[in-house]
Structure 1
């Protein structure tokens, strides 16, 4: 077994929560060292972005059906909308004298390890270069300025690049070893958030999967030690090409041009007491990605078109009202029509966001514990998002499962077990009532063996989980209910329920959807107005 594969398996096992003990964590929260949720590059020139999202008429239902509007031009106005509705603030909350920001892209514990970047040629209102997006102020920090023609030529006048990185310490401060998993989930949420916002502007999104981590770090300026000093490092995650899907940016030419760029700004230190978690350092090294071949385009599979949701709202409104439920009422039901429509949007349909961003085959399959869906028998179901996985899934689970095809064609939904699984859902979700009080809960079962062959794909499995989660968040809002991601779950209890006994399949993320119970103690304020 290769060293990186061994390190991956060791981390995966050691970072699991178990019935009799939890994954190693900090034990207690040291509030004096809580990381600043906003990275600032001090000294970098700023481009203030207009708050223009309300000018966007695109409706959420159009996006989920793959009906994108005509492509807008790339300029300051449209880029402002892209960032506002993907990585921007959605509200401020306050309680008992404390105040914190919410964002359109969710995060475990609202800690937000994810940072966003823009790489672009000269556009109306925006100079050529590399920018860091500061969500707190809705502004772009100009990190690198370029006047090299080869930089502009690398974009072929066809789009821009959005980069994503992670600051592991932001999550590790609270969650310890398991924090690396959550950073990857959050990256997936961000990928999906960008894909949806880009689609609302008529733009396609493609993950630049071939790029090596070192290339991503170089293009985003993350390898510039003089800009970080004592500040917490950012791990390179992914580049997203926004624009003409038939073209890819010339990363080699971009990198060469950056060697002659003028760089600005130094990263702020987020915390006075960063703690190093060796397991996170190890899994970061083990999943380091070198350059790979770009995956070939997949032939589209037939997919079910979703029905019009209960709330036919603009995308801007849906994106900004998305919230993570804290508790569910244990009474709310949803209709089978709404439920099946949600699942249709989880299917890997390549002409709809966020799945237009992914070129590799779907590897994650929701296993659903249905409690309160009118017209659907309570019990265990599985949505097989990749038809080629059906045989392996059946062979890996309990032989007594029914595997009855249900729901409309061509939705690949299978009924496994008629049973009241509320107690099981509560147990698996670390004894949290939210698992049982939901309309349905689910675990995301992934083909883990792909990560054992190519360890960098371990990250991609978590990203796909986050993309599924972001879709569920938006679908729940449109259905008049609410969702929440469950990072705290007992991995092997889920495997025991299903009968999974080896590393071919592993559960990597959990989610619940239901009727939310709001906390009346919380006050809400707009995202970009002066706060009290």
Structure 2
């Protein structure tokens, strides 16, 4: 590994001998503001998603409200003693939420043409730019822009934070894909769009509007189509108009600086692009989730170490992470480059041990030649023919999983955990792929979260793991594969001491009393 992205990855590995560089102390009373606002920008209030989603709604303000509620909105408030915090539909490392969402609207009923910032705290849009043209487009168009505020993660996690921001971006892409599918829509990543173009479209390059406030890194642009099929995504034209609003300062007294994060961010900027020769995996039929299921997603804090999940649920959840023509995989054209290694503990009819799930292309051959030569590589009896699940080694892996997942009990108490191996040759060829590999891992994580909810289970993403020790445990010698994300899934235990409150009490109360 030679380029800056690969060097950053090596530098930020956790090891048995020491963790990646991070802050020596945390003062939770000085945590950065979890909500970016643009002071002075006009507000547009949004309605919440209805419990029963209408089929294929048109692009309107109300439908945009439902899309944002189910993707980036709050799902609840939690309180324990004097501490109160918000949960959101999109997961985030440490519940820190570095990902910001923007709306670009053309001809959308109920919205001015222009750019808006989404404020999840209030479920409202802040109007950043109103386009000069007063004539509405006959063909409504909607785009979602995504950016990252790296300091939100770096405040707690130090140099490793850039990894977590990219994983969160993958979760956000998945959240929009699932939310769009629930509305009968489709979300698709705009390809060939450079970072500078995204920055200009979202107003992130307007230094006069940010001042001393924390910058936002341009990540991605999605086009939202009011149908599951249709043409490929395109970028909107760069418009002129009246700009309003100034970004708030999230952290007035930052205690640390992590220059390597800015360096790797700069080194991995580039255009989103599918690899040449990839098949176009557009939707042929979505398996939509209900609004209720999307809004109930939670990250498990503890697992019931006695819970045994049925094999059919295990296989169904694993099938959901395979690239296929349904949400969330229709969000892009990337060839699968992230492949789970599973630590199976308690699945009825499936022997405890290590398993591999090569997700496509030449990944089976790559994994077989890269991992421990003593692995057996036998297909799992009873698994669907379409699921390439392979037994590597039978045995109790609970202790090893716990140790490798930074000594966390969730790794041994879950029904199964996984380490996601990414093909790092892509990073050597194009440093932007470092972001893309983490997005793919985050997208896998989002599928696991929501599919677990279908069966009354819970998942939780794990960003803290020992990188090279995981590689050593599975016999990986080459740097061509690197673990980028871990995940656990099982029967959750609920802490009854933590109170749950409505996400938007005023809006929900008004909704409940409306005729």
| Equivalent-residue separation in structure 1 for 2:353 and 2:361 (angstroms) | 22
1:283 equivalenced with 2:264 (yes/no): yes
| Equivalent-residue separation in structure 1 for 2:305 and 2:271 (angstroms) | 47
Q: Secondary structure at the match of 1:241?
A: strand
1:466 equivalenced with 2:450 (yes/no): no
**Quick one: which of 203, 209, 212 aligns to 1:221?**
203
Q: Secondary structure at the match of 1:254?
A: coil
Distance 1:451-1:53 versus aligned 2 partners, 3 A rule: farther
1:346 equivalenced with 2:343 (yes/no): no
**Quick one: which of 395, 401, 411 aligns to 2:375?**
401
1:73 equivalenced with 2:58 (yes/no): yes
| Equivalent-residue separation in structure 2 for 1:456 and 1:201 (angstroms) | 31
CA contact (8 A) 1:366 1:444 kept: yes
| Residue 70 of structure 2: aligned partner | 85
Report matched runs for 1:415-454 at 5 Å.
415-454=391-430
| Equivalent-residue separation in structure 2 for 1:347 and 1:526 (angstroms) | 34
Q: 1:7-39 CA deviation, whole Å, 9 max, x = no partner?
A: 222211111110110000001103353110000
| Residue 263 of structure 1: aligned partner | 243
1:164 equivalenced with 2:161 (yes/no): no
| Residue 495 of structure 2: aligned partner | 519
| Equivalent-residue separation in structure 1 for 2:50 and 2:83 (angstroms) | 28
CA contact (8 A) 1:53 1:85 kept: no
| Equivalent-residue separation in structure 1 for 2:277 and 2:248 (angstroms) | 40
Q: Secondary structure at the match of 2:132?
A: coil
| Equivalent-residue separation in structure 2 for 1:47 and 1:470 (angstroms) | 29
Distance 1:333-1:360 versus aligned 2 partners, 3 A rule: same
| Residue 41 of structure 2: aligned partner | 44
- Which structure 2 residue ranges, 5 or more long, are not aligned? 508-515
TM-score by length of 1: 0.90
| Equivalent-residue separation in structure 1 for 2:388 and 2:452 (angstroms) | 20
Q: CA deviation at 1:519?
A: 1.4
Q: 1:112-136 CA deviation, whole Å, 9 max, x = no partner?
A: 1010011110221111111100000
Report matched runs for 1:493-532 at 5 Å.
493-529=469-505
| Residue 511 of structure 2: aligned partner | none
Q: Secondary structure at the match of 2:237?
A: helix
| Residue 337 of structure 1: aligned partner | 312
Distance 1:291-1:458 versus aligned 2 partners, 3 A rule: closer
CA contact (8 A) 2:414 2:489 kept: yes
Q: CA deviation at 1:276?
A: 2.5
CA contact (8 A) 1:117 1:130 kept: yes
Q: Secondary structure at the match of 1:492?
A: helix
Distance 1:388-1:79 versus aligned 2 partners, 3 A rule: same
| Residue 458 of structure 2: aligned partner | 482
**Quick one: which of 147, 150, 154 aligns to 2:132?**
147
User: What is the root-mean-square deviation in Å for CA atoms of aligned residues?
Assistant: 2.3
1:109 equivalenced with 2:90 (yes/no): no
Distance 1:417-1:215 versus aligned 2 partners, 3 A rule: same
Q: 1:154-198 CA deviation, whole Å, 9 max, x = no partner?
A: xx8264111110000001111001111110011000000000000
Q: CA deviation at 1:249?
A: 5.4
CA contact (8 A) 1:145 1:261 kept: yes
Distance 1:215-1:496 versus aligned 2 partners, 3 A rule: same
| Equivalent-residue separation in structure 2 for 1:384 and 1:290 (angstroms) | 27
| Residue 513 of structure 2: aligned partner | none
| Equivalent-residue separation in structure 2 for 1:249 and 1:121 (angstroms) | 15
Q: Secondary structure at the match of 2:445?
A: helix
1:176 equivalenced with 2:152 (yes/no): no
Report matched runs for 1:357-396 at 5 Å.
357-396=331-370
Q: Secondary structure at the match of 2:34?
A: coil
CA contact (8 A) 1:161 1:239 kept: yes
| Equivalent-residue separation in structure 2 for 1:273 and 1:523 (angstroms) | 31
Q: CA deviation at 1:387?
A: 3.4
1:355 equivalenced with 2:335 (yes/no): no
**Quick one: which of 166, 172, 181 aligns to 1:190?**
172
| Residue 62 of structure 1: aligned partner | none
| Residue 317 of structure 1: aligned partner | 292
| Residue 309 of structure 1: aligned partner | none
- Which structure 1 residue ranges, 5 or more long, are not aligned? 58-69, 307-312
TM-score by length of 2: 0.93
Q: Secondary structure at the match of 1:118?
A: strand
- Say how many residue pairs are matched: 501
| Residue 327 of structure 1: aligned partner | 302
